[in-house]
């Protein structure tokens, strides 16, 4: 089981989601819930393609932290 950080960005049209450790693994949805389900599926598809291609599975190397700036 792999664990990856997923970032969500709200836009005028809905939400985008991406995985910094998996370049090119993105999803967009009208709602955050939709984007969340789509990025879950995208991650699984992305990892499956890497496995089928005999490529290494990237490890989680990204960290996040909220910072208060004022």
Q: Beta-carbon neighbour count of residue 32 at 10 Å?
A: 13
- Residues 15-29: tens digit of each pLDDT: 999 999 999 999 999
Residue 62: band (very low, low, confident or very high) from pLDDT cuts 50, 70, 90: very high
In the block, tokens 């709200």 appear at 10
End-to-end CA distance of the chain, in Å? 39
Residue percentage of the chain with pLDDT more than 90: 94
Checking if the pLDDT of 4 tops 90, the result is yes
Checking if the pLDDT of 2 tops 90, the result is no
In the block, tokens 């985008």 appear at 16
Predicted confidence at residue 1, as pLDDT, reads 82
Model pTM score: 0.88
Tell me the C-alpha to C-alpha distance, in Å, between residue 32 and each of 18, 35, 45, 49.
Answer: 12, 5, 20, 25
């Amino acid at each position: 089981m792999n664990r990856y950080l997923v970032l969500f960005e709200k836009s005028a049209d809905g939400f985008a989601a991406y995985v910094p450790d998996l370049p090119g693994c993105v999803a967009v949805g009208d709602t955050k819930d939709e984007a969340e389900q789509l990025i879950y599926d995208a991650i699984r598809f992305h990892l499956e393609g890497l496995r089928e291609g005999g490529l290494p599975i990237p490890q989680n190397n990204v960290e996040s932290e909220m910072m208060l700036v004022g």
